[in-house]
Amino acid sequence: MRPATFSNTGQFWRGNLHTHSTMSDGALEAAEVCRRYQAEGYDFIALTDHFVGLYDYPMTDTRPYRNEAFTTLIGAELHSGAMENGELWHILAVGLPDDFAPSNSPFFIPNDDQESGAEIARRARDAGAFVTIAHPEWSGMSEADAWSIDAAHAVEIYNHGCAVECDRPHGFMTLDRLNSKGHRMNLIATDDAHFKGPDAFGGWVMVKAEENSPEALLQALKDGAMYASEGPEIRDIRIEDKKIHVEHSAAEFMIISGYGSAAKTVHGSSMTRSEMKLARFADSDWIRVTVIDAAGKRAWSNPIWWKEA
């Protein structure tokens, strides 16, 4: 068994799926955001400005900044309804059509006659978007909040802006609990860059697709053909005879995580291949891989439903 991320044809393209510009609360104009990401070696980004009335519900058009080596996806960070803690939902939607109808979200506070978070996520997915639950740790999202979303493809498990600004960057607990309940969610890492501080170029996705086009990238994201990273590369994963084999860039640790407390680690110096028997995960329908390099930077695979091979 090889997950789609590694068995699909094509190559890996590096991208950031959560970014802001002066169309909402970012410090830089869209053209400059795109220029900086291309200069840093990215193949694509999605500018996802805050879709609220305060900014006239922007759907930032980045098509003029595409070129032969760089492309963009159209999207927004959607807001509607209240979570259990009384704060507004944040739903990341990439691949939205230009005519996606605004929500009733004039400001960054909930009001009584809004769609719920679940409803706006469903509307975005029905419109063709790749939908992600954004920064659940930063948002203070409860389990009940997360379980209410039935239309998301993924959870944002690392948000670099949340890491440098408030030390609440993660979404692993949300992801793992959802998958343990059978929700089948993938994962992404992002910047959530506003360029008001050092919040850019810290987390990204590597998407496997035949070409660096919006259409191919969007389909690959929906298919789960990607992994997330702060630096390390995951080059291949295969499962044979209840053993997992992982090829990666030089690393000190390879960790397998699964249901509940199930986890196991391989460690060594400058490892580029790791393997592990999966007996520890006999009661876990899913597993995921973490690779950690000597600088402490991580890469994460999507959850693998390994018993279905």
CATH number at residue 153: 3.20.20.140
Q: Are residues 55 and 183 in the same domain?
A: yes
Q: Are residues 210 and 240 in the same domain?
A: no
Q: Are residues 109 and 155 in the same domain?
A: yes
Q: Are residues 167 and 259 in the same domain?
A: no
Q: Name the token pair of 128.
A: 């063709």
What CA–CA distance (Å, rounded) separates 73 from 49? 12
Q: Are residues 244 and 289 in the same domain?
A: yes
pTM: 0.97
Q: Are residues 274 and 196 in the same domain?
A: no
Indicate left, alpha or beta for 57 from its phi (over 0: left) and psi (-120 to 50: alpha).
Answer: left
Q: Tell me which of 189, 214, 229 is where a domain ends.
A: 229
DSSP state of 64: G
Per-position pLDDT tens, the chain of length 309: 999 999 999 999 999 999 999 999 999 999 999 999 999 999 999 999 999 999 999 999 999 999 999 999 999 999 999 999 999 999 999 999 999 999 999 999 999 899 999 999 999 999 999 999 999 999 999 999 999 999 999 999 999 999 999 999 999 999 999 999 999 999 999 999 999 999 999 999 999 999 999 999 999 999 999 999 999 999 999 999 999 999 999 999 999 999 999 999 999 999 999 999 999 999 999 999 999 999 999 999 999 999 886
Q: Are residues 280 and 139 in the same domain?
A: no
Q: Tell me which of 195, 229, 263 is where a domain ends.
A: 229
SS3 37: helix
What CA–CA distance (Å, rounded) separates 119 from 140? 20
Number of domains in the chain: 2
Q: Tell me which of 170, 204, 229 is where a domain ends.
A: 229
Q: Residue 287: give the domain boundaries.
A: 234-308
Bridge partners (DSSP) of residue 299 are 229, 291
